[in-house]
Structure 1
Amino acid sequence: MPSLSVSLLLIGLALTVVTSAQKYTDKFDNINVDQVLGNDRILNNYLKCLLDKGPCTQEGRELKKLLPDALKSNCEKCSERQKTSSRKVISHLETKKPAEWKKLLDKYDPQGIYKSKFEKLNKSAQ
Protein backbone atom coordinates (compact mmCIF):
# COMPACT_ATOMS: atom_id res chain seq x y z
CA MET A 1 0.00 0.00 0.00
CA PRO A 2 1.41 3.44 -0.84
CA SER A 3 2.70 5.60 1.96
CA LEU A 4 0.35 7.73 3.97
CA SER A 5 1.45 11.16 2.89
CA VAL A 6 0.55 14.66 3.80
CA SER A 7 -1.46 15.72 0.83
CA LEU A 8 -3.74 12.80 0.54
CA LEU A 9 -4.19 12.72 4.20
CA LEU A 10 -5.59 16.16 3.66
CA ILE A 11 -7.98 15.11 0.98
CA GLY A 12 -9.01 12.00 2.88
CA LEU A 13 -9.64 14.10 5.93
CA ALA A 14 -11.47 16.70 3.90
CA LEU A 15 -13.77 14.00 2.66
CA THR A 16 -14.27 12.37 6.03
CA VAL A 17 -13.69 14.68 9.00
CA VAL A 18 -14.10 17.99 10.72
CA THR A 19 -12.10 19.08 13.74
CA SER A 20 -13.07 18.96 17.38
CA ALA A 21 -11.14 19.34 20.64
CA GLN A 22 -9.86 15.79 21.27
CA LYS A 23 -10.69 13.77 18.17
CA TYR A 24 -11.77 14.75 14.71
CA THR A 25 -15.51 14.47 14.42
CA ASP A 26 -17.08 11.56 12.58
CA LYS A 27 -19.60 13.94 11.00
CA PHE A 28 -18.35 13.16 7.47
CA ASP A 29 -17.35 9.52 8.01
CA ASN A 30 -20.35 8.30 6.04
CA ILE A 31 -19.17 9.98 2.83
CA ASN A 32 -18.54 7.30 0.24
CA VAL A 33 -14.86 7.87 -0.54
CA ASP A 34 -14.94 5.37 -3.43
CA GLN A 35 -17.75 7.33 -5.04
CA VAL A 36 -15.84 10.60 -4.71
CA LEU A 37 -12.68 9.03 -6.13
CA GLY A 38 -14.70 7.64 -9.02
CA ASN A 39 -16.13 11.06 -9.91
CA ASP A 40 -13.46 13.30 -11.47
CA ARG A 41 -15.63 16.40 -11.24
CA ILE A 42 -16.06 16.10 -7.47
CA LEU A 43 -12.48 15.01 -6.84
CA ASN A 44 -11.09 17.84 -8.98
CA ASN A 45 -13.19 20.33 -7.01
CA TYR A 46 -11.60 19.12 -3.77
CA LEU A 47 -8.16 19.33 -5.34
CA LYS A 48 -8.80 22.87 -6.58
CA CYS A 49 -9.96 23.86 -3.11
CA LEU A 50 -6.86 22.46 -1.45
CA LEU A 51 -4.60 24.12 -4.02
CA ASP A 52 -6.38 27.51 -3.69
CA LYS A 53 -7.46 27.30 -7.33
CA GLY A 54 -11.21 27.15 -6.76
CA PRO A 55 -14.00 27.49 -4.22
CA CYS A 56 -14.30 25.14 -1.26
CA THR A 57 -17.21 23.18 0.11
CA GLN A 58 -17.80 23.09 3.86
CA GLU A 59 -15.73 19.89 4.01
CA GLY A 60 -12.94 21.48 1.98
CA ARG A 61 -12.79 24.52 4.25
CA GLU A 62 -12.66 22.29 7.32
CA LEU A 63 -9.92 20.20 5.75
CA LYS A 64 -7.79 23.25 5.07
CA LYS A 65 -8.20 24.30 8.71
CA LEU A 66 -7.48 20.78 9.95
CA LEU A 67 -4.45 20.06 7.82
CA PRO A 68 -1.70 21.73 9.86
CA ASP A 69 -2.76 19.93 13.03
CA ALA A 70 -3.22 16.58 11.29
CA LEU A 71 0.23 16.84 9.73
CA LYS A 72 1.97 17.86 12.94
CA SER A 73 0.25 15.17 14.99
CA ASN A 74 0.61 12.32 12.46
CA CYS A 75 -3.18 12.10 12.43
CA GLU A 76 -3.33 11.19 16.12
CA LYS A 77 -6.88 12.54 16.30
CA CYS A 78 -8.04 10.45 13.33
CA SER A 79 -10.26 7.42 13.78
CA GLU A 80 -9.26 4.14 12.14
CA ARG A 81 -11.89 4.73 9.47
CA GLN A 82 -10.44 8.15 8.72
CA LYS A 83 -6.94 6.70 8.47
CA THR A 84 -8.17 3.95 6.13
CA SER A 85 -9.98 6.48 3.93
CA SER A 86 -6.90 8.67 3.84
CA ARG A 87 -4.73 5.77 2.68
CA LYS A 88 -7.25 4.97 -0.04
CA VAL A 89 -7.27 8.55 -1.27
CA ILE A 90 -3.48 8.75 -1.23
CA SER A 91 -3.14 5.54 -3.21
CA HIS A 92 -5.66 6.79 -5.78
CA LEU A 93 -3.95 10.14 -6.23
CA GLU A 94 -0.47 8.64 -6.43
CA THR A 95 -1.51 6.24 -9.19
CA LYS A 96 -4.32 8.05 -11.03
CA LYS A 97 -3.45 11.74 -10.58
CA PRO A 98 0.31 11.97 -10.00
CA ALA A 99 0.59 15.57 -11.24
CA GLU A 100 -2.04 16.76 -8.79
CA TRP A 101 -0.47 14.65 -6.04
CA LYS A 102 2.88 16.38 -6.66
CA LYS A 103 1.21 19.80 -6.46
CA LEU A 104 -0.35 18.87 -3.12
CA LEU A 105 2.99 17.66 -1.78
CA ASP A 106 4.74 20.79 -3.05
CA LYS A 107 2.21 23.00 -1.31
CA TYR A 108 1.66 21.17 1.98
CA ASP A 109 4.99 19.40 2.48
CA PRO A 110 7.71 21.11 0.44
CA GLN A 111 10.54 19.64 2.56
CA GLY A 112 9.02 16.14 2.66
CA ILE A 113 9.05 16.14 6.46
CA TYR A 114 5.51 14.87 6.96
CA LYS A 115 5.64 12.46 4.02
CA SER A 116 8.64 10.76 5.58
CA LYS A 117 6.86 10.42 8.94
CA PHE A 118 3.74 9.01 7.31
CA GLU A 119 5.75 6.52 5.27
CA LYS A 120 7.33 5.17 8.45
CA LEU A 121 3.97 4.96 10.21
CA ASN A 122 2.35 3.27 7.22
CA LYS A 123 5.09 0.65 6.99
CA SER A 124 4.78 -0.15 10.68
CA ALA A 125 0.98 -0.49 10.29
CA GLN A 126 1.33 -3.12 7.56
Structure 2
Amino acid sequence: MKLLVVLALLAVAFARPDDGFYDTKYESFDVKELIGNIRLLKAYVLCFQSKGKCTPEGTDIKKWIPEALDSECAKCTEKQKSLVAEVLKAIMELLPAEWEELVKIYNANGQSLEVLAAFINKYAPK
Protein backbone atom coordinates (compact mmCIF):
# COMPACT_ATOMS: atom_id res chain seq x y z
CA MET A 1 0.00 0.00 0.00
CA LYS A 2 2.87 2.36 0.69
CA LEU A 3 3.74 2.30 -2.99
CA LEU A 4 0.31 3.79 -3.61
CA VAL A 5 1.67 7.22 -2.92
CA VAL A 6 5.26 6.88 -4.05
CA LEU A 7 4.54 9.47 -6.69
CA ALA A 8 1.73 11.19 -4.87
CA LEU A 9 3.75 14.28 -4.62
CA LEU A 10 3.87 14.77 -8.37
CA ALA A 11 0.63 16.50 -7.58
CA VAL A 12 1.63 18.11 -4.30
CA ALA A 13 4.59 19.71 -2.58
CA PHE A 14 3.74 21.27 0.75
CA ALA A 15 1.04 20.55 3.33
CA ARG A 16 -1.48 23.34 3.78
CA PRO A 17 -2.13 23.83 7.46
CA ASP A 18 -5.50 25.49 6.90
CA ASP A 19 -7.46 22.55 5.52
CA GLY A 20 -5.25 19.49 6.03
CA PHE A 21 -4.69 18.86 2.31
CA TYR A 22 -1.50 19.21 0.31
CA ASP A 23 -0.95 22.47 -1.52
CA THR A 24 -2.75 22.60 -4.84
CA LYS A 25 0.05 24.39 -6.67
CA TYR A 26 0.89 21.25 -8.65
CA GLU A 27 -2.69 20.35 -9.54
CA SER A 28 -2.13 21.95 -12.93
CA PHE A 29 0.92 19.72 -13.44
CA ASP A 30 0.90 18.51 -17.06
CA VAL A 31 0.77 14.79 -16.41
CA LYS A 32 0.19 14.06 -20.12
CA GLU A 33 3.52 15.69 -20.96
CA LEU A 34 5.25 13.64 -18.28
CA ILE A 35 3.84 10.26 -19.26
CA GLY A 36 4.15 11.08 -22.96
CA ASN A 37 7.90 11.60 -22.62
CA ILE A 38 9.56 8.37 -21.50
CA ARG A 39 12.88 10.12 -20.87
CA LEU A 40 11.25 12.67 -18.59
CA LEU A 41 9.23 9.99 -16.78
CA LYS A 42 12.37 7.94 -16.25
CA ALA A 43 14.21 11.01 -14.93
CA TYR A 44 11.55 11.50 -12.26
CA VAL A 45 11.71 7.82 -11.33
CA LEU A 46 15.51 8.00 -11.05
CA CYS A 47 15.13 11.02 -8.78
CA PHE A 48 12.78 9.09 -6.48
CA GLN A 49 15.21 6.16 -6.50
CA SER A 50 18.06 8.52 -5.51
CA LYS A 51 19.87 7.55 -8.70
CA GLY A 52 19.51 10.78 -10.65
CA LYS A 53 19.23 14.51 -10.43
CA CYS A 54 15.97 15.99 -9.23
CA THR A 55 14.17 19.00 -10.63
CA PRO A 56 12.92 21.52 -8.06
CA GLU A 57 9.51 19.80 -8.27
CA GLY A 58 11.13 16.38 -7.92
CA THR A 59 13.01 17.56 -4.85
CA ASP A 60 9.78 18.81 -3.27
CA ILE A 61 8.01 15.59 -4.14
CA LYS A 62 10.76 13.34 -2.84
CA LYS A 63 10.88 15.27 0.43
CA TRP A 64 7.20 14.54 1.11
CA ILE A 65 7.11 10.89 0.04
CA PRO A 66 7.60 9.47 3.58
CA GLU A 67 4.65 11.42 5.01
CA ALA A 68 2.47 10.53 2.04
CA LEU A 69 3.43 6.88 2.41
CA ASP A 70 2.50 6.85 6.07
CA SER A 71 -0.87 8.48 5.47
CA GLU A 72 -1.76 6.62 2.26
CA CYS A 73 -2.31 9.91 0.45
CA ALA A 74 -4.85 11.06 3.01
CA LYS A 75 -3.92 14.69 2.37
CA CYS A 76 -4.38 14.37 -1.40
CA THR A 77 -7.33 16.01 -3.09
CA GLU A 78 -9.37 14.02 -5.60
CA LYS A 79 -7.52 15.79 -8.44
CA GLN A 80 -4.16 14.87 -6.90
CA LYS A 81 -5.22 11.24 -6.52
CA SER A 82 -6.12 11.18 -10.20
CA LEU A 83 -2.71 12.60 -11.16
CA VAL A 84 -0.93 10.08 -8.95
CA ALA A 85 -2.89 7.14 -10.35
CA GLU A 86 -2.19 8.19 -13.93
CA VAL A 87 1.55 8.45 -13.30
CA LEU A 88 1.69 5.15 -11.43
CA LYS A 89 -0.15 3.39 -14.24
CA ALA A 90 2.27 4.85 -16.79
CA ILE A 91 5.33 3.74 -14.82
CA MET A 92 3.91 0.23 -14.43
CA GLU A 93 3.21 -0.06 -18.15
CA LEU A 94 6.11 1.87 -19.69
CA LEU A 95 8.95 1.26 -17.23
CA PRO A 96 8.35 -2.16 -15.68
CA ALA A 97 11.94 -2.65 -14.46
CA GLU A 98 11.94 0.75 -12.77
CA TRP A 99 8.51 -0.01 -11.33
CA GLU A 100 9.84 -3.20 -9.75
CA GLU A 101 12.68 -1.26 -8.16
CA LEU A 102 10.29 1.34 -6.78
CA VAL A 103 8.25 -1.49 -5.30
CA LYS A 104 11.37 -2.84 -3.59
CA ILE A 105 12.31 0.61 -2.25
CA TYR A 106 8.93 1.82 -1.10
CA ASN A 107 7.15 -1.45 -0.37
CA ALA A 108 9.87 -3.18 1.62
CA ASN A 109 7.29 -4.64 4.00
CA GLY A 110 5.67 -6.51 1.12
CA GLN A 111 2.24 -5.03 1.60
CA SER A 112 -0.49 -6.04 -0.80
CA LEU A 113 -0.35 -4.49 -4.23
CA GLU A 114 -4.06 -5.28 -4.69
CA VAL A 115 -4.89 -2.03 -2.89
CA LEU A 116 -2.67 -0.17 -5.32
CA ALA A 117 -4.40 -1.78 -8.29
CA ALA A 118 -7.79 -0.76 -6.88
CA PHE A 119 -6.54 2.81 -6.38
CA ILE A 120 -5.29 3.00 -9.98
CA ASN A 121 -8.53 1.51 -11.31
CA LYS A 122 -10.56 4.04 -9.34
CA TYR A 123 -8.57 7.20 -10.07
CA ALA A 124 -6.65 6.73 -13.34
CA PRO A 125 -8.44 7.86 -16.49
CA LYS A 126 -9.65 4.96 -18.56
Code of the residue aligned with 1:89 in structure 2: it is V
Aligned to 1:9: 5
Q: Does 1:76 align with 2:71?
A: no
| Alignment root-mean-square deviation, CA | 2.4
- Counterparts of 2:23 and 2:120, CA distance in 1: 26
What TM-score results when the alignment is normalised by the length of structure 2? 0.81
Say whether the 8 Å CA contact 1:7–1:101 is kept in structure 2: no
The Cα of 1:84 is off from its aligned counterpart by: 0.7
Q: Percent identity?
A: 32
Q: 1:59 to 1:114 in 2, by over 3 A?
A: farther
The gaps in structure 2 that reach 5 residues or longer are none
The gaps in structure 1 that reach 5 residues or longer are none
Q: How many residues of Structure 1 are paired with residues of Structure 2 in the alignment?
A: 120
- Structure 2 counterparts to residues 1-126 of structure 1, below 5 A: 6-7=2-3, 9-11=5-7, 13-20=8-15, 21=17, 22-113=20-111, 115=113, 117-119=115-117, 122=119
- Counterparts of 2:36 and 2:63, CA distance in 1: 25
Secondary structure of the residue aligned to 1:101 is: helix
- Counterparts of 2:32 and 2:22, CA distance in 1: 21
Q: 1:51 to 1:23 in 2, by over 3 A?
A: same
Secondary structure of the residue aligned to 2:108 is: coil
